[in-house]
Structure 1
Amino acid sequence: MLVGSCLCGRVAYEVAAEVEGVAHCHCETCRKAHGAAFASIASVPRDRFRWTRGEEALSAFESSPGKIRRFCSTCGSQLVAERTGQPTVMLRMGGLDTPVTAERQWHIWRSDGASWYDPDKVWPQLPEGFPRG
Structure 2
Amino acid sequence: MSDRYKGSCLCGQVRFEAAEFKEHIAHCHCSMCRKFHGATFGTLAQVKSLTWLSGQEILKDYVAPNGTIRTFCSHCGSSIGFRSKNNSFDQMELALGLFDDNLPVSMDAHIYTEYKANWVQINDDLVQYPEGRE
TM-score by length of 1: 0.79
Match of 1:44 among 43, 47, 51: 47
1:70-122 deviation digits (Å, cap 9, x = unpaired): 1111110011112323673211011111211423421111000001111127x
Contact 2:5 2:19 in 1 (8 A): yes
Contact 1:21 1:102 in 2 (8 A): no
Q: For residue 71 of structure 2, what is the aligned residue in structure 1?
A: 70
Unpaired runs of at least 5, structure 2? 125-134
- Give the total of aligned pairs: 119
Q: Does the CA contact (< 8 Å) of 1:2 and 1:18 recur in 2?
A: no
- CA radius of gyration, larger in: 1
Whole-Å separation in 1 of the counterparts to 2:43 and 2:106: 14
Q: How does 1:6-45 map to 2 (within 5 A)?
A: 6-45=9-48
Match of 1:57 in 2: 58
- RMSD between superposed Cα atoms in Å: 1.9
Task: Give SS of 2:92's match.
Answer: strand
Asked whether 1:3 is paired with 2:3, we answer no
Quote how far apart the aligned CAs of 1:64 are.
Answer: 4.1
Structure 1 SS opposite 2:20: coil
* Letter matched to residue 36 of structure 2: A
Q: Which runs of 5+ in 1 are unaligned?
A: 122-133
Where 1:100 maps in the other structure, the secondary structure is coil
Contact 1:26 1:108 in 2 (8 A): yes
Q: Secondary structure of 1:17's match? A: strand
Identity, % of aligned positions: 37
Instruction: Please identify runs of 4+ aligned residues in structure 1 that moved more than 6 A.
Output: none
Aligned residue identity for 1:32: K
1:20-77 deviation digits (Å, cap 9, x = unpaired): 34210000111111111100111224xx212110111111111243321111111100
